Structure 1
Amino acid sequence: MSLIHWIEARPRSARWHSESGLPLPRRVVVADDRTKASDAYRLACEGTALLWRGDFHNARQLLRAMDRRVGRRAPGVQVQPAEAFHGHRRHRAHRARVLGKLLVLLEEDHTLTLRRAPDVRRACDEAYGPPSGGPVAVALTELLGVIGAREWRERGVPVPALCARIHPHYGVFAPTRSEYVDLVARAPLPRAGVRTAFDLGTGTGVLAALLARRGAGRVVATDVSARARECARDNVRRLGLDRIVRVTGPELYPDGRADLVVCNPPWLPARPASDLDLGVYDAGGAMLHGFLSGLAGRLEPGGEGWLVLSDLAERLGLRDRGEVRAAIAAAGLRVADRLDTRPRHSRARDTGDPLHAARSAEVTSLWRLTAG
């Protein structure tokens, strides 16, 4: 068990928890409404964590002041795309380390006992599970993420292709980018029909639900993440599709064969910093290549595999152009068709983003693949 220790009238300790993999703080001091942002930023940069004991809203203001001091990394002049990407990730990691030094203490029942603090017990129960083992210290940035996730889960994300809302859980990638869902909604189904479909890496279950709505007789959705599996089950139950969609895992492929296999792997072949990054980063393209190498043996005669993938990795220099087509051919597959779409999300229009050139030119594709 990892513990943080500090002095507050007497020596005290609490369990340390970080979903994003922040390291255990070795030195902790108490901070409150009198703490200056310049002092907090300096201590955080030196590796000292600050346990906040003042007003909750003042803590948020201090966090914003520290964030301004971290600043936003300006795009380099004539920097290669891969260098810009790695520099951007390093800056984000530095920012996370610095801001992650401002801590709050959750009591044994997940109560946050700060002035003007919201009731975070339900949000923490959903993110962390039932409380146990005494008070726990978390980064304020993480707690704000937990609170935001509870709000997303409550109101849901509208998915026009479903004419419904999907309710993401904490730590599960939300379907806020609708273009990949729209591709799956408009791609022509295999001529032989879809008695059974697989959705590999289902996440919130949005594509599994869409396949069921498009007439698949049975959908088996898989995910490596227990959180994602719980989230997908919750969503298909909300949509009244739990008799059609079965959620399983952690294996990529379920048993048997399917008329249609859909896979929307993480788009960037880079190492995730924590499990929270699994929806974005696929180290070495392992999931992509696992899907392709196993597809031919899992298709029914006349069946198709749909690979939904952005070319952002190629535009950032993280994957060679032609690598996807080469992997498709090496797996004994043929490209029957490809549907393309352009991004509509706000980051593609953010000219201040260090990765703007790649994001604005990005193309998302649905590759229709057949065996042999």
Structure 2
Amino acid sequence: MVHTGKKRTVVNFGPGPAKIPEEVLQKAQTEFLEYEHTGISVLEMSHRSPEFDGIMKETEKLLRDEMSIPNEFEVLFLQGGGSGQFAAVPMNLKFKSSSGSADYAVTGSWSAKAADEAKRYLDVNKVFTPMKPYTKIPEKSQWKFNADAAYVYYCANETVDGVEFQQPPELKYHNVPLVADISSNILSRPFDVAKHGLVFAGTQKNLGAAGLTIVIVRKDLLGHAESYTPSVLNYHENHKMNSVYNTPPVYSIYLTKLVLEWIRDKGGVHALYERNKNKSALIYDVVDDSQGFYYCPVDLSCRSNMNIPFRVGGRDGNSDLEKKFIQGAEKLDMISLKGHRSVGGIRASLYNAVSEEETRKLSEYMKEFMVTFKTEE
């Protein structure tokens, strides 16, 4: 199929793989058959060629600029997604604890999975009793840290549950590195890398296509991986090989470069943060003003700007109304609004590429739907 240049009308509220900015897709389309007079597509390009080396270096530079990454951190381009990092983190950082333990803040489905995976490699201390369903981050007074922990782990934004840290957690023991999964809110808001020892993110939500995992790790944490750590998950091995220990996801890295250029041209992370706050307010305001027709279970203190879960027809949801809601949205070319299978309901993912105009379309639909169906509540 040949692209006609016609603007896409479908609004993708998917949680990931998610919407990619249309300008990025158009640029990728123009360069798809041939990248910068090389005679070949990036898809065909050797990962050891000078052309691809240039793409890698420019991607890293853009990321460092947009995230203000300090010089004492290395940037790695890896594979395996967040699930790979659930294993890589304990295998690479276990050395920091003489007792072989790590602290985990479980605030949602993804941090829970990370903690379960980490149990294969070290002892996991949950710093507070998880609050199920996941709707709130416990007060600081409830956190119990281990002075000998290898690290403290948290998920900055829970994609499934819609729980987001507004600021990184404050640690009791500052010799213990802070580790963050920022897969679903990377570059959606200002983020202080310097407060962390390691952060990672899959790129399929806010930074491009699936297949690439970015790891930002402090230099002093390199070179101490457990002997059984697979080389593809060993941060030091990958750093030594400039992220080409094995064939990297070349096209995903290229797309991330284009997305980072788009972020830069949109005014950077601070401009996007203001836009993202406006977008999420369009949805939360409808929910909060609906007199219970829509219900978001997440506490006001930690509502996510990126992933907004809500029920239709009351606190527990009305399955018939929610089905009609999704069907009606799809007729208006708004897709991927079904909530995660573990929590049900509706979920609107408002990643950077989703515009205010598109978010307003959903907001207006929610108002119209409520007027039409409130009597069936």
TM-score by length of 2: 0.29
Report which of the two structures shows the higher radius of gyration computed on alpha carbons.
1
More strand by share: 1
TM-score by length of 1: 0.29
1 or 2 for the larger relative contact order (CA 8 Å, sep ≥6)?
A: 2
